[in-house]
Amino acid sequence: MPKNVDVAIIGGGLIGCSIAYFLGRRGVKSLVIERNHVGSEASGANAGALWPQGEAKGPGPFIWLALASNKMFPTLSDELGEDIHYRRSGMMHVILDDEDVAKANETVAWQSALRLRQEQLTGDQARRLEPALSPKVMGALYYENEGHLDPLLLVNAYSKAARRLGAEVWTGTLVTGLEAKGGRVTSVATAKGPVQAGTVVNAAGPWSCEIAHYLGLNVPVVPLRGQIVTTQALPPIFEMCIVSKRGYFVPKAAGNVIIGSTREFAGYKRAVTFQAIQNLVRGAAEVIP
């Protein structure tokens, strides 16, 4: 017998599990279908960075969506009933050379035009806030409302909260096809049998293009590999998130520091490379010796 649900969600990452949670809040029952385990891909392997202003490249919908999202996190642990290790640490985007100075001036100009707040610091002011910064740091942009969390705790918190609201989560379940009638997807073929749904959500991340191929559709999404390094637990060196052209550095509650990240069009290859790890670590040593 086919499984019948209101909404079938393909992908048990942060997007899929959060959709299931917010549907549950509205009384809609959903089924999350995940081929591995919850948060097994990019959702569980990142720095957990919350840098809406620091990562925005210019004015537009992204910055407003990111700022609205950032306002949700201070109370999200209480809402979901799970500690997600949220910390509003602040973020400092450090300036290392004249090219960085020009980019920082552009950032200040467009963000100030939108009445978004940031602080421009000299190198000495930056080092007063974070004494571990290198003497090479010429200045910085400081964003006090930015921070970080534990991404795997976050996706698992959404998954648990969604299930408390009536969602089901199938892990270790491969999607093998889609069926459509009248221009709508009506059924998902899985390793556990067919799932009939009023709505199907494709939340498979970089695999969303593969899911779309079952319908003969071309979704222009490709995988982008980002290698990161995590250190062993260290005595406290710095408190806020530090971002630079040589990498980003995020101190975690357990004492380890996340160092990232590469951006590589390497297909679905997960392997780390010696060259990337070496470059990331050298970058960290240059900015925070």
Cα dihedral across residues 249, 251, 256, 258: positive or negative: negative
- Is pLDDT at 127 greater than 90 in this prediction? yes
Longest dimension (CA), the chain: 69
Give me the pLDDT at residue 62, please.
Answer: 92
- Is pLDDT at 153 greater than 90 in this prediction? yes
- Is pLDDT at 260 greater than 90 in this prediction? yes
120 burial class (0-12, 13-18, 19+ CB within 10 angstroms)? middle
Q: How large is the average pLDDT for residues 203-223?
A: 96
What CA–CA distance (Å, rounded) separates 235 from 116? Answer: 34
pLDDT > 90 in the chain, percent:
98
- Is pLDDT at 65 greater than 80 in this prediction? yes
Residue 145's DSSP bridge partners are none
Q: How large is the average pLDDT for residues 231-254?
A: 96
* Short-list 61, 68, 76, 67, CA closest to 118: 67
Q: How large is the average pLDDT for residues 222-236?
A: 95
pLDDT in tens, 28-63: 999 999 999 999 999 999 999 999 999 899 999 999
What CA–CA distance (Å, rounded) separates 94 from 190? Answer: 48
* Short-list 89, 135, 134, CA closest to 288: 134
Q: How confident is the model at residue 108 (pLDDT cuts 50, 70, 90)?
A: very high
Cβ-based neighbours of 256, under 8 Å, separated by 6 or more = 230, 231, 232, 233, 234
Q: What is the mean pLDDT of the chain?
A: 96
* Short-list 8, 13, 37, 19, CA closest to 154: 13
For 105, the enclosing helix (H) or strand (E) is helix 98-113
Q: How large is the average pLDDT for residues 175-201?
A: 96
What CA–CA distance (Å, rounded) separates 133 from 191? Answer: 52
Give me the pLDDT at residue 2, please.
Answer: 81
What CA–CA distance (Å, rounded) separates 158 from 150? Answer: 13
Q: How confident is the model at residue 1 (pLDDT cuts 50, 70, 90)?
A: confident
